């Protein structure tokens, strides 16, 4: 422990308590935020170890990814701090214990097993879409909160020792042997997404069976079974569950089922949890005039009394917003947005002061919905604010950067200094 840990208070903000667990690179402590009095899990990583295996860049990259990963089934990373010798991750503290403590009491019925599995796949799919692979899915990394919701922990942080090589594959064997894909053991390089799907297959098998699919006292015999995909489903598995698990535990990664196909399988879809639908924005009122933006509106759109965030790229992107000023009339703005909508197969609803786009194809989180509101600062100077009303933030950000921004460049107001207002 460093001197700050020994005296029990870290960075003057967190009081460290009992140790919750430890791994190759890290120890995890229970800690209390002295400002809010809330509990956190504090993961402490030794810098020396990470530097010694040449993983410092990976750690930095994983931190930046984890900061943007906010999902109800993933343990949240609140804050990252550092001292000379340590890196500290303040993470969400999950009180309900490990999912597998439930299985210790006996296997689960199909319905609760499916519920946990749907949450697991939702988390894995979300992270894969952002280029993050867990690579060490195992019982200790599946926690439950007090309401019984599944939380995947150590996403992207557990795999410090993995290198992605020139061939784009990972080459370091890690993970708990019983949950590891055959190509990972084989050391020939592997696709992180496919390896995660195998581990999810093992987890689903254990939830339904109450024991592991590949078991042997002799580790080499167990590895041989894993290589061959040599396992049997107990008689109480339904035929749909059996089919899905067999496709997930395919020893050939190139023919192993994808996450999209898992989510489309009959067993997975049997009783989908009702997603908490975001309240739909009211439809554009017909004949509604361009809204006037007074000084109070402008201040409310910025943060505090500093107006720079109105046009600050980073904050806008984090909130999934796009905002720009224009001296063109509202009709020009609307027709430009309509043009983009047509090329990308969006339906359009419009009035004089807003345009709503609705995607026709379902994405990661349903159909993408976008609202563009037009405010008049003066009769000849407008501010246009674009927000996501439904769908996946990553898909929305990609649409904005590849389609919407380039199309709006022509009508966007540029100050006399040549600075763009598109933010």
Was 86 annotated as part of a binding site? no
| Residue 217 is among the residues annotated as catalytic for this protein | no
Active-site position among 125, 136, 154, 392? 136
371 membership: H or E segment, kind and range: strand 366-378
The angle formed by the CA atoms of residues 124, 126 and 130, to the nearest 5 degrees, is 110
The residue to which tokens 């581990």 are assigned: 199
- Which residue, 69, 62, 67, is CA-closest to 25? 62
Give, as one character, the DSSP assignment of residue 309.
Answer: G
R_g over Cα of the chain: 25
Question: Please, which contacts does 100-107 make with residues 24 or more away whose CB atoms are closer than 8 Å?
Answer: 100/139, 100/140, 100/142, 100/206, 102/144, 103/206, 103/207, 103/210, 106/210, 107/207, 107/208, 107/209, 107/210
* Unique residue bearing structure tokens 């993470």: 91
State residue 326 phi and psi, 5-degree precision: -150, 150
Tokens of 352: 């004089």
Answer positive or negative: Cα dihedral of 260, 265, 268, 269: positive
Dihedral in degrees, nearest 10, Cα atoms 200, 203, 208, 213: 110
Please list the active-site residues.
136
Q: Tell me the binding residues.
A: 47
Annotated binding site for ATP: 47
């Amino acid at each position: 422990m460093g001197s700050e840990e020994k005296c029990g208070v870290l960075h003057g903000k967190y009081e460290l308590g009992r140790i919750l667990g430890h791994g190759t690179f890290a120890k995890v402590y229970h800690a209390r935020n002295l400002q809010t009095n809330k509990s956190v899990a504090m993961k402490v990583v030794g810098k020396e170890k990470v530097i010694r295996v040449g993983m410092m860049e990976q750690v930095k990259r994983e931190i930046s990814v984890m900061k943007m990963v906010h999902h109800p089934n993933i343990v949240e990373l609140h804050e990252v701090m550092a001292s000379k010798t340590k890196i500290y991750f303040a993470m969400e503290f999950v009180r309900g214990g490990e999912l597998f403590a439930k299985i210790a009491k006996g296997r689960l019925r199909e319905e609760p097993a499916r519920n946990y599995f749907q949450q697991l796949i939702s988390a894995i799919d979300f992270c894969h879409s952002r280029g993050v692979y867990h690579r060490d899915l195992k019982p200790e990394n599946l926690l439950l909160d007090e309401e019984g919701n599944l939380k995947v922990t150590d996403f992207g942080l557990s795999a410090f020792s993995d290198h992605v090589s020139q061939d784009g594959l990972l080459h370091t064997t890690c993970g708990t042997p019983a949950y590891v894909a055959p190509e990972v053991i084989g050391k020939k390089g592997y696709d992180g997404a496919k390896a995660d799907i195998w581990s999810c297959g093992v987890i689903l098998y254990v939830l339904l069976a109450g024991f592991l699919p590949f078991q042997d006292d002799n580790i080499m015999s167990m590895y041989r079974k894993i290589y061959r995909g040599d396992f049997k489903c107990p008689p109480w598995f339904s035929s749909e569950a059996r089919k899905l698990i067999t496709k997930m535990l395919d020893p050939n990664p190139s023919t192993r089922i994808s996450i999209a196909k898992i989510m489309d399988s009959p067993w997975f879809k049997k009783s989908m949890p009702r997603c908490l639908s975001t309240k739909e924005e009211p439809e554009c009122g017909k004949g509604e005039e361009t809204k006037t933006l007074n000084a109070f509106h402008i201040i409310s759109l910025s943060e505090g009394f500093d107006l720079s965030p109105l046009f600050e790229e980073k904050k806008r992107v984090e909130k999934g917003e796009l905002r720009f000023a224009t001296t063109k009339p509202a009709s020009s703005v609307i027709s430009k947005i309509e043009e983009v909508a047509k090329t990308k197969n969006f339906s359009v609803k419009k009035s004089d002061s807003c345009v709503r786009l609705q995607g026709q194809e379902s994405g990661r989180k349903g159909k993408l919905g976008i609202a563009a509101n037009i405010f008049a600062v003066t009769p000849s100077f407008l501010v246009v604010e674009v927000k996501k009303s439904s769908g996946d933030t990553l898909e929305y950000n990609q649409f904005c950067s590849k389609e919407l921004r380039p199309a709006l460049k022509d009508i966007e107001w540029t100050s006399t200094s040549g600075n763009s207002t598109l933010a």
